[in-house]
Amino acid sequence: MDAVPELGEIARTARVVALPMVTRFRGITVREAMLFEGPEGWTEFSPFVEYDDREATAWLAGAIDYGWRAAPEPVRDTVPVNATVPAVDADEVAAVLERFPGCRTAKVKVADPGQTLAQDVARVAAVREALGPEGRVRVDANAGWGVDAAERAVHALAPFDLEYVEQPCASVPELAELRERIAYLDVPVAADESVRKADDPLAVAEAGAADVIVVKAQPLGGIHRVLDLTRRTGLPVVVSSALDTSIGLAMGVRLAAAMPELPYDCGLGTASLFTGDVVDAPLRPVAGALPVGRCRPAPTLLDRYAAPPARFDWWMERLGRVHAVLAASAPA
């Protein structure tokens, strides 16, 4: 990447926010994020709190890429997005989908710890019923199954006409084996964690372990790096988010807008999972799509959702450590 800006330049405008969520998602009810302003505008650094400094380094590179480097020119003005359905009970599905007006696609969380396959089937069935036969339903297991469990689950869920199953297993060899086992079901396999958490993000494509890759701008080091990565994989791409604020979502939308081809609706509508945001007009779907453009936080909302002082200090210390790792790896 280009030269890393000085820590003081980043820290000068840094704010930390804590956004409450509509329902528990990915095990959390409040999403923390650090925001700061670069020459190109506001950007976001928000690796999940359990991620170590090494993993968080790519997230900081992504934030710097968006804040300090001009984004590629978009090839579209809007980006179609999917609804995201957490691991809720089936009778809660309709209320969740109402938060995503006009979305023709839904991504449904499955394999949540402590839940059963029967609960997953009921949830997916409720989504299919709500969307109708023309809607698109994809499921995301977040690497929650082994190969045998994944095969059983995909067999049980296949009658609901799945668009694909995302990260059903953890490792690339497991994905490759599962993909071979379920070929008769005609359910594509998508890889997320096997791309963004891998030492070699190209390995999943080289192993023939996925039909689709899911990419996220911040965790993969920024818009420019992701565009290069996707060109090299040669696989269809879904651009998704990592529970970003609207600042980070705008980064993802800009990435999706620069993709030469965008065959799938993108997982960038997740601002609808928050009860508040840092911009006056949050990036929530309208007619199933999001506009392309930067977002600027409102000072009043930065104050309203400011994280407690102890959490601000925690994030500033984390920023300092991760910045040191990133700066040490940057070219002289």
**HSE (side-chain half, CA atoms, 13 Å) at 36:** 24
- 192 carries a ligand binding annotation: yes
Q: The dihedral of CA 172, 177, 181, 184: what is its sign?
A: positive
Pick the catalytic residue: 31, 99, 109, 138?
Answer: 109
Active site residue 216: yes
Pick the catalytic residue: 15, 136, 216, 225?
Answer: 216
- 206 carries a ligand binding annotation: no
Strand pairing report for 15-25 and 189-191: unpaired
Q: Return d(Cα 6, Cα 142) in angstroms, integer.
A: 35
Q: Is the distance from CB of 58 to CB of 49 less than 8 angstroms?
A: no
Q: Return d(Cα 94, Cα 167) in angstroms, integer.
A: 25
Helical (H) or strand (E) element with 213: strand 212-216
Q: Return d(Cα 330, Cα 318) in angstroms, integer.
A: 18
Classify 88 in phi/psi space as left (phi over 0), alpha (psi -120 to 50) or beta.
beta
Counted residue by residue, the chain has a size of 332
49-51-53-54 Cα dihedral, nearest 10 degrees: -160
Q: Where are the alpha helices (DSSP H) in the chain?
A: 7-11, 53-68, 93-97, 117-131, 147-157, 172-181, 193-196, 203-206, 223-233, 246-258, 299-304, 309-329
Active site residue 109: yes
Q: Is the distance from CB of 107 to CB of 120 less than 8 angstroms?
A: no
- 277 carries a ligand binding annotation: no
Residues contributing to the annotated binding site: 140, 166, 192
Among all residues, which ones are annotated catalytic? 109, 216
Residues contributing to the annotated binding site for Mg(2+): 140, 166, 192
